[in-house]
Chains A and B, each alone.
Chain A
Amino acid sequence: MDWVAFWLSVKLGIFTVLLLLPLAMFTARWLSTAQFPGKSLLEASLAVPLVLPPTVVGYYLLVGLSNDSFIGRWLVDLTGHGVVFHFSGLLIASMIVNIPFAVQPMQRAFEAIPQEIRDAAACCGMSRWRQLLTVEIPLAWPGMLTALVLTFAHTLGEFGVVLMVGGNLPGETRTIAISIYDRVQAFDLEAAGQMSLILLIFSVVVLAIANSLSRRLLKPGMRKAGRSHV
């Protein structure tokens, strides 16, 4: 059992959630009410990782973030090291791949809040921030929980993009999904089986907790405004 890989995956999941979710929340809130030309195109661009093969996404990220690229050079200047084949590169890749899993459930949840509730909040004199914190986030909370769980679980299971951008460096970029693949390649099926089982149990437990929390959050009266749950 490769615990180093397991904890690296968990760490990647936590960092992805912490960095991506706040950005995704503001994007989702904005998309839920804004009307502008090109909105469909923007929404489609954000959803691309859902349909594109992970290796394709990984390829573009590898090329786009490599030390020869403009962004790659800028990141080298910023961090002092290249981001490909490094944990930071893995994190950037993970955030990009998870955009649809984070944005979409939250956007649906914000969209489900009736306009009348926003109108009433504005007429109560609430500033936009107060409205967001005291009315919209409590109502969109189940959708936010869904986004959190999907992003975290998806990060744990991500393989193609991680392999393309991060390679297979123990303790740095070898996540549990890559470690399982690595063990199978080495005919160490017992270790691969152990890790697969642990990943399976971990995923089921996380989803069960999220579902139960989501149900508890959806007390009577809140169902109408926040239907989305895991």
Chain B
Amino acid sequence: MSSRNLDLAVQVRQKAPFALDAELKCRAGELTALVGPSGSGKSTLLRMIAGLVRVQQGHIRSGDLLWADGQRHVTAQQRRVGYVPQHYGLFPHMHALGNVETALHHLPASERSRIAHEWLERVHLGGLAKRRPAELSGGQQQRVALARALAASPRVLLLDEPFSAVDAATREKLYTEIVELRSELAMPVVLVTHDLQEALMLADRITLQSQGRTLQSGEPKQVMAHPVSEDAAMLLGLRNIFESVVVEQDGANAITALDLTGHRIEIPRQPHLRQGERVSWVIADAGIRFRAISRKEIAPQKNRLPVTVVKMLTLGDQVRLFLQLADTGAIFRIDVTARLAEELALATGIRTEVVLRAEDIHVFEQQMTEKPG
């Protein structure tokens, strides 16, 4: 059983009845998070994997089995998928045990009951087997749904925003349980979420989805550090995205220089860029340092930029700073701790210097063609 090939491979490219251009891979034992805002088609893609929505063009494979392509459609009943919908989809007229048993209806009654009990124990609900869904809390309902989804040893586990309907404390507990549980699971797990932090915390791979299109897939760290496009960067919550012209390719010093409205920015050499080319790039918050702090570091400083604090917003123990680059309209937005803001005596109107760490500057692979304005 452990040698079963359960790797999931999905590729859907269709224009009708709704446009979807999506690709997703998930190896057995891995968790792939499908991340995107609402309306990005991620739940539809999940329902396609489950067999609840037909694929018009493309294919879905589970190991060696072809589940769907333009002609073939294996029904949800035949696929053996474990599916936890957003609001769990529990059968309200059955108690917890009955809900789990429905996934095992192909087995004799005694075995059905034994396995269902085992699964309820495994999700820490052994004592609540005879309760109906309405008599359980949100977190408990979610666990019943999870037990039901896993009871019949599915070929894939699909979780649609499973943490969105519970309170923060329950969510934290469920995260831990999911992490513990998934180390024991042999099948691929696909998690749909709009919460990037959740995806980064739980997933082995993330796939970014926006407006029906897959933007990027990869390991969370890799995707965070190297978003392929502006859209992907924005989806990742990166706010410091700028346009520049490539002004120099210095092979000797392994440097590529960009011009940001009159300020020279040096980054590790990017041989594929042409001199004079317009490029978009992004820098993570962590790559923007105040010179007052950076001064203490031994490394030689380049990319020093004079800025003015134009706005400060206090958000709990964080301060969001809007720093305008001198003589330009370019604005850096970074969050710092309130303590640091106090230490540096930051206030609206103050002039200071920031240093952009060259290694944290990432030029997008996919450049926008033409930008209006």
Given contacts A116-B87, A119-B83, is CB(A124)–CB(B103) below 8 Å? yes
Inter-chain contacts of A124 with B (CB < 8 A) = 102-103, 105, 148, 152
Inter-chain contacts of A134 with B (CB < 8 A) = 102
CB atoms of A120 and B92 under 8 A apart: no
Interface string of A129-173 (1 = CB under 8 A from B): 010001100110000000000000000000000000000000000
**B264 located at the interface, meaning its Cβ lies under 8 Å from any Cβ of chain A in the complex:** no
CB atoms of B93 and A119 under 8 A apart: no
**A38 located at the interface, meaning its Cβ lies under 8 Å from any Cβ of chain B in the complex:** no
**B91 located at the interface, meaning its Cβ lies under 8 Å from any Cβ of chain A in the complex:** yes
Inter-chain contacts of A222 with B (CB < 8 A) = 92-93, 134
CB atoms of B51 and A122 under 8 A apart: yes
CB atoms of B93 and A127 under 8 A apart: no
Contacts A124-B105, A221-B134 supplied; 16 other A-B pairs, CB < 8 Å: A116-B89, A117-B90, A119-B52, A120-B88, A120-B145, A120-B148, A122-B52, A122-B77, A123-B52, A123-B83, A125-B103, A134-B102, A135-B91, A139-B93, A222-B93, A224-B134
Contact of A123 among B88, B91, B105, B149 (CB under 8 A): B149
Inter-chain contacts of B133 with A (CB < 8 A) = 221
Inter-chain contacts of B80 with A (CB < 8 A) = 125
**B41 located at the interface, meaning its Cβ lies under 8 Å from any Cβ of chain A in the complex:** no
CA A97 – CA B365 in complex, angstroms? 68
CB atoms of A123 and B81 under 8 A apart: yes
Interface string of B56-78 (1 = CB under 8 A from A): 00000000000000000001111
Given contacts A122-B75, A124-B148, is CB(A116)–CB(B102) below 8 Å? no
Distance (whole angstroms) from the CB of A138 to the closest CB of chain B: 5
CB atoms of B89 and A117 under 8 A apart: yes
CA A138 – CA B99 in complex, angstroms? 14
Inter-chain contacts of A225 with B (CB < 8 A) = 92-93
Given contacts A116-B87, A117-B91, is CB(A125)–CB(B135) below 8 Å? no
CB atoms of B134 and A123 under 8 A apart: no
CB atoms of B47 and A119 under 8 A apart: yes
**B212 located at the interface, meaning its Cβ lies under 8 Å from any Cβ of chain A in the complex:** no
CB atoms of A116 and B86 under 8 A apart: yes
Distance (whole angstroms) from the CB of B129 to the closest CB of chain A: 15
Contact of A139 among B51, B92, B135, B145 (CB under 8 A): B92
CA A219 – CA B134 in complex, angstroms? 10
CB atoms of A114 and B87 under 8 A apart: yes
Inter-chain contacts of B145 with A (CB < 8 A) = 120
CB atoms of B92 and A123 under 8 A apart: no
Inter-chain contacts of A224 with B (CB < 8 A) = 92, 134
Given contacts A125-B77, A221-B132, is CB(A114)–CB(B89) below 8 Å? yes
Residue of A nearest to B52 (CB): A119
**B162 located at the interface, meaning its Cβ lies under 8 Å from any Cβ of chain A in the complex:** no
**B220 located at the interface, meaning its Cβ lies under 8 Å from any Cβ of chain A in the complex:** no
Inter-chain contacts of A96 with B (CB < 8 A) = none
Distance (whole angstroms) from the CB of A109 to the closest CB of chain B: 13
User: Which residues of chain A have a CB within 8 Å of any CB of chain B?
Assistant: 114, 116-117, 119-127, 130, 134-135, 138-139, 219-222, 224-225
Given contacts A119-B50, A123-B82, A124-B148, is CB(A221)–CB(B93) below 8 Å? yes
Inter-chain contacts of A120 with B (CB < 8 A) = 83, 85, 88-91, 145, 148
CB atoms of A119 and B105 under 8 A apart: no
CB atoms of A121 and B87 under 8 A apart: no
18 CB-based A-B contacts, threshold 8 Å: A114-B87, A119-B50, A120-B85, A120-B90, A123-B81, A123-B83, A123-B149, A125-B78, A125-B80, A126-B77, A135-B91, A135-B102, A220-B132, A220-B134, A220-B135, A221-B135, A222-B134, A225-B92
Residue of A nearest to B136 (CB): A221
Given contacts A119-B52, A119-B83, A221-B134, is CB(A127)–CB(B77) below 8 Å? yes
CA A225 – CA B132 in complex, angstroms? 13
Residue of A nearest to B76 (CB): A122
Contact of B50 among A117, A123, A130 (CB under 8 A): A123
CA A188 – CA B52 in complex, angstroms? 65
Inter-chain contacts of A123 with B (CB < 8 A) = 50-52, 76, 79, 81-83, 149
Distance (whole angstroms) from the CB of A145 to the closest CB of chain B: 15
Distance (whole angstroms) from the CB of A97 to the closest CB of chain B: 33
CA A184 – CA B106 in complex, angstroms? 64
CB atoms of B149 and A138 under 8 A apart: no
Interface string of B229-259 (1 = CB under 8 A from A): 0000000000000000000000000000000
Residue of A nearest to B145 (CB): A120
CA A148 – CA B13 in complex, angstroms? 48
Distance (whole angstroms) from the CB of A43 to the closest CB of chain B: 23
CB atoms of B86 and A125 under 8 A apart: no
Inter-chain contacts of B50 with A (CB < 8 A) = 119, 122-123
CA A117 – CA B85 in complex, angstroms? 9
Inter-chain contacts of A119 with B (CB < 8 A) = 47, 50, 52, 76, 83, 85, 89
Inter-chain contacts of A219 with B (CB < 8 A) = 93, 132
CA A125 – CA B148 in complex, angstroms? 11
Inter-chain contacts of A122 with B (CB < 8 A) = 50-52, 75-77
Residue of A nearest to B78 (CB): A125
Inter-chain contacts of B89 with A (CB < 8 A) = 114, 116-117, 119-121
In order of increasing CB-CB distance, the 5 nearest A-B pairs are: A221-B134, A120-B89, A116-B89, A123-B83, A116-B85
CA A41 – CA B75 in complex, angstroms? 31
Residue of B nearest to A122 (CB): B76
Distance (whole angstroms) from the CB of B361 to the closest CB of chain A: 45
CA A135 – CA B93 in complex, angstroms? 8
